Structure 1
Amino acid sequence: MADIDLDAFASRYIAVWNEPDPGARRKAVEELWCEDALQLLQPPQVMREAAEKVGMRTVVMEARGHDALEFRVRTAYEEFVAPGAADFRVRGDVQRLHDLVRFSWVWAPLDGGEPQGGGLQVLLLGPDGRIATDYQFIGL
């Protein structure tokens, strides 16, 4: 298992979601995630409630591979960061247990106001230290 600086790793992960340059963003995706990596997203509560109303008890969104991950990161950037009022940030400690890394993050105003969103990342690392599976739980 690759030895990594946890704080630097989490900072690199969050930085890709704030990256305005498409080329740099794509390069970061390729450096952070394995080629066939999978991101599983637990949707926000409002989406889970809407799905439950129509009988769907398990709602999971997924993106697999560099192209899908880059698309996911780009659309999040365009919606949440590009308008220029807020960005994503690591919140609290980064922890590792063997090949799992976990940390919390927030989406917060640049002016220092209260976070408007956030979540928890649980990352399963491959032997080369890149992300093999990325579990994202939305909600503070």
Structure 2
Amino acid sequence: MSWAEHAFTALQDAGLRRGGARRAVVDFLERQDCCRSAQEIHDGIVAAGGAVGVASVYRTLDTLAELRLVQRVDVGDGIARFEIAGGGDHHHHHLVCDDCGRVEPFTDGPLEQALERAAGRLGYAMQHEVVLRGTCGDCAA
């Protein structure tokens, strides 16, 4: 089952319809490789020919977050970003450029292993998010 199918089932189970803005936001998020702000989601849907209001995008994101289908990502710039919740194929961390604000996903197996070892050594069940800040290659050039 794809994430979108799972999301639509969860919305239905919550007594919510899956049309309009909800369908547009879920479909958009499933195609993303990293977090997006509500404005970026709105702009992406409109650019693809969809018709949805930015307020509807915010309401949909709040609903999806309440259902734990998306997670809010804080990269330290005061802009709420959202991405598909859960681990597996979607688990990644974020690199943030302090100059242009670009956010890029990254994965690192040895980093994951080190975090798991540290959590285990300290007796923690771990949920984590790593945000690395710096200057991207374009801005450094």
TM-score w.r.t. the length of structure 2 is 0.26
- Between Structure 1 and Structure 2, whose CA radius of gyration is higher? 2
TM-score w.r.t. the length of structure 1 is 0.26
